[in-house]
Amino acid sequence: MLGPSAHTDTFARENLPPEGSWPDLLLDGFDYPDTLNAGFELTDAMVDKGYGDNENGGAIVGHGSGGMIRLRAA
């Protein structure tokens, strides 16, 4: 079920439980490509869709101190 990954740290992937013990992943209707750049989809793609100037738009990302920061298009 897992495809190739661009991540160089393979610890999490190598320590997943056996695939037979995973829950059923009900992904019907979610037509995601084989590879997906989540960083692009949460930032640049949102700007491309017109949310760059929206005060309620932008991408919310975690901050190391436990707070949240909002990325805004310049």
What gap in Å lies between CA 51 and CA 59, rounded to an integer?
A: 10
Residue 3 placed within a domain: no
Q: How confident is the model at residue 11 (pLDDT cuts 50, 70, 90)?
A: very high
Q: Is pLDDT at 72 greater than 90 in this prediction?
A: no
Residue 40 lies in a domain: yes
Task: Please tell me the total count of domains within the chain.
Answer: 1
Q: Which one has a higher pLDDT value, 17 or 38?
A: 17
- Expressed as residue numbers, the domain containing 24 is 11-71
Residue 1 has pLDDT above 50, yes or no: yes
Look at residue 2 and tell me if it is in a domain.
no
Domain for residue 19, yes or no?
A: yes
Residue 6 lies inside a defined structural domain of this protein: no
Tell me the whole-structure pTM to 2 decimals: 0.43
In terms of phi and psi (left: phi > 0; alpha: psi -120 to 50; beta: otherwise), the region of 29 is left
